[in-house]
Every structure is written in structure tokens, then in C-alpha cells.
Structure 1
Amino acid sequence: MTLERDAKFGIGDVVRHRLFPFRGVVFDVDPEFANTEEWWQAIPEAIRPAKEQPFYHVLAENEDSFYTAYVSEQNLLPDARSGPVKHPQTRELFERFDGERYRMKTGEMKPN
């Protein structure tokens, strides 16, 4: 069983957040919530996602900055139509954007 089969998005997919104004590229997938309880509790209850779903590590960007985000599957939408992501770490992890997704470099590590 591979994560890509169970998760809606895979490594290299370009996504955008359903509620907040950011987009990015997936660089890792957790089959279910794998962050701290404190992090989860800090999310307002009205928008707090369920833990029993895939969560994605995303090289994220908005109008003002670049960062990494940890996002539940329920809060992501596909966004490849908007083109490549400008996050500078994409060049460290991915070979290129082919118009649909980023292709991972072989033998590369995840960002810190």
C-alpha cells in the first residue's frame, strides 16, 4: 500500500488552501495527523480539521512570503492550472514543473 493511492494529492502536486490565501507544492504526506496536540488545539474549533485524514507538508506561498505549511486534505484543492509555484525551495527538491505537477529530484532530502 502506498500513500499516493490513499491520499488525494501526491508529492509534486500543486495545491491551494480552501480557506486561506496560499498555494504551494506538496513535498511529503502523512496518512493521518502527525503533528502535536498543541498545534491541532490552536486551530479554532469551527475550522479544526479531523485528524483521521491525510495531512500534507506544503512548500507554501502567499503575496508576502514563502513558508512550509501542514494542511489537512479537506482544506486543499488542486491548483496546477495557476502555473508553477515560486517558492525558492522547489528548486532544491524538484526537477521541473511539467504543467501538471512537479517532478521530484532523485535522492533528495526533505526541507528542514
Structure 2
Amino acid sequence: MAYTELAVQSPTIAGVIPADVAATLTDGNRFINTGREFILLKNGGGVNPCIVTIPTPQTVKNLTIQDPTVSVAIGVEKIIGPFPPELYNNPAGGTDPNEVYVEYDQVTSCTVSVFRV
């Protein structure tokens, strides 16, 4: 899969306008993660909730970590995160190192933006 990169925004005292982009269904999205990032996911309409999965490529003591899922109902906005790098980052030396993947079950009217605090 070729995940689509999301730009990470940093809030300021003057405020920032979220750079909402359409969530990518086919290949999902990705962003550089330091452990201080949060996703803002908006489900602006449509007929179904948007279910987001955050794959966990790491293991703990050789045990697979269950991928968390978050359901965002129609007309709802949710902030998801943070993402501890030791659990969520793709490993160094692999594809998209130090990045987190975000996958969706559907993207009708779903937008996403990423913030670092």
C-alpha cells in the first residue's frame, strides 16, 4: 500500500485553521510521529460512521498489539491520540519509518488533520 502523507500542523497562540483533507480510503494516510501528535477526524455527513484503525506495527515481548479502532458517528468530530512511538511508529529501516498509518472503513464526508503539541 502507498499511504498518503498528512501534513502535521502546530497550534499557535494565534490559533490555526485545521488543514482538513479528505481521508484516503484505498491506501489510508500516514504522518510523521514524535509521540505528541493528535488526529482530528470529522464525519461531516453521509449515512455511516467512519471507523478508523491505527495499525500497531510493533510488538511487546514478541506479542502482537491489537490495532485500536475508533468510530466517528455522522456529524461528529473526534480527537484521537497521542501515539506512543514505541507502539505505533513503523520501525526504522522499513517502509515509512517513524510514521503512523491511519486506515478507514469508509471515507464519505470524512476529513482528517494532524496536530503536534
- More strand by percentage: 2
Which structure exhibits the higher relative contact order, with contacts defined as CA atoms closer than 8 Å and separated by 6 or more residues?
Answer: 2
Q: TM-score, normalised by structure 2?
A: 0.28
Q: TM-score, normalised by structure 1?
A: 0.28
- More helix by percentage: 1
